[in-house]
Amino acid sequence: MEKEVIMEISHLKKYFPVQSSIRMQPASVKAIDDVSLTVYRNETLSLVGESGCGKSTTGRCAIGLLPSTEGCITYNGRDITHLKGKQQRALSREMQMIFQDPYSSLNPRMTVGAILEESMAIHHTGSREQRMKRAMEMFLKVGMREDQYYRYPHEFSGGQKQRIGIARALMLNPKLVVCDEPVSALDVSIQSQILNLLSRMKEEGNITYLFISHNMSVVRYISDRVGVMYLGHLVELASTQELYTHPLHPYTMALLSAVPEVDPHFKKEKIKLKGDIPSPLNPPSGCVFHNRCPYATTFCGDAVPTMQEASAGHFVACFRHEEY
């Protein structure tokens, strides 16, 4: 069956202007540099990579929380790249975000019930009674109790706060939700509960997730497809099964080699990358990974590899992926 596209991101760039400290010259941090991505309806597409690789910025640009510098974003075939004001607000009903930090994403001065109702009030949706009815319905759906509705955020644990964050994001029946590291601030024992809740809510609400994480195990558990980002570039994209069993980009291989094994007797070779991740203020020429790549040649420092389809649905940006 043909998959339906919900969002198309084409050649997206996001540069943040900064003042260079050396000569006080204007410069820019290249947070995203030419990222193209197709998101299919009802899938969970994850973006992984180290801190600063541009995955969160991509998610924020995708739903209009950050303006993009260049490129085009379409949602259900409509160009939404430069929407502002009323149009942007109307669209934000369909596109929501679940934040990383459940501790600071909830207003401490409001009861959790009022926080949930507020998302409908902002969009002038429903009467007071209808808002409260919907908020209570969502509150119970995410596993909270009725008697907790009038409590304040500080009275809840991290996992409960994240449940409330999920309920708030889903109040308006969104069709696309960006989950920005939704479990990384939680205890490991709570993470699986929240991941299961996200999966259940996705099935019930026909939601598409753009899931952002640095945790390869979490991503493997929840995703249909995975995109790997490095220094503002998308370097590999494939189905979860394909990416974890046949990684093609040396950076993906290094990320996977660092995932701890459950079986202590199983020894796998760790790929140690040399050096640190370069500054996005002054990224390397050619392939941005060339100064850390164990397979780099001089050519890699001169030319920029583009995403090529190595096998059906498996894309990689590397000149030498067929050689190793």
Min dist. Cβ of residue 295 to ligand SF4 (A):
4
Please tell me the distance from the alpha carbon of residue 35 to that of residue 264, in angstroms, as a whole number: 38
For 158-271, strand residue ranges (E) read 176-180, 208-213, 225-230, 233-239
Check residue 75 for interaction with ligand SF4 (CB under 6 A). Answer: no
Query: Which listed range, 188-196, 205-213, 236-244, 287-295, lies at the site for ligand SF4 (CB under 6 A)?
Result: 287-295
Q: Tell me if 295 contacts ligand SF4 by CB under 6 A.
A: yes
Tokens 């644990």 — which residue? 157
Exactly one of 139, 156, 289, 315 binds ligand SF4 (CB under 6 A); which one? Answer: 289
Which residue among 300, 307, 310, 314 contacts ligand SF4 (CB under 6 A)? 300
For residue 296, state whether it binds ligand SF4 (rule: CB under 6 A). yes
CB of 32 or CB of 300, closer to ligand SF4: 300
Q: Site map for ligand SF4, 250-269, x if CB under 6 A? A: x-------------------
| Window of 37-45, 50-58, 205-213, 295-303 that interacts with ligand SF4 by CB under 6 A | 295-303
Taking CB under 6 A as the criterion, the residue among 290, 310, 314, 315 binding ligand SF4 is: 290
What residue type is 51 in one-letter code?
S
Instruction: Return phi, psi of residue 156, to 5°.
Output: -115, 155
- The span from the CA of 103 to the CA of 227, in Å, is 28
**At 311, phi and psi to the nearest 5?**
-145, 175
Q: Could you give the 3-state DSSP secondary structure of residue 74?
A: strand
Interaction between residue 305 and ligand SF4 (CB under 6 A): yes
Q: Does 49 bind ligand SF4 (CB under 6 A)?
A: no
Q: What angle do CA 99, 39, 192 make, to 5 degrees?
A: 45
Smallest distance from the beta carbon of 275 to ligand SF4, in angstroms?
13
Count Cβ atoms below 10 Å from residue 45 Cβ, excluding itself: 22
Shortest Å, Cβ 303 to ligand SF4: 8
Given the complex with ligand SF4, which of 32 and 307 has the nearer CB atom? 307
Q: Which is nearer to ligand SF4, 185 or 318 (CB)?
A: 318
DSSP letter at 85 equals H
CA-derived radius of gyration, the chain: 21
> Can you state the angle between helices 128-141 and 158-170, rounded to 10 degrees?
130
Instruction: Name the minimum Å distance from CB 293 to ligand SF4.
Output: 3
Non-local (6+) Cβ contacts of 314 within 8 A are: 236, 237, 238, 239, 242, 243, 246, 248
Residues near ligand SF4 (CB under 6 A) are 249-250, 287, 289-290, 293, 295-296, 300, 305, 318-320
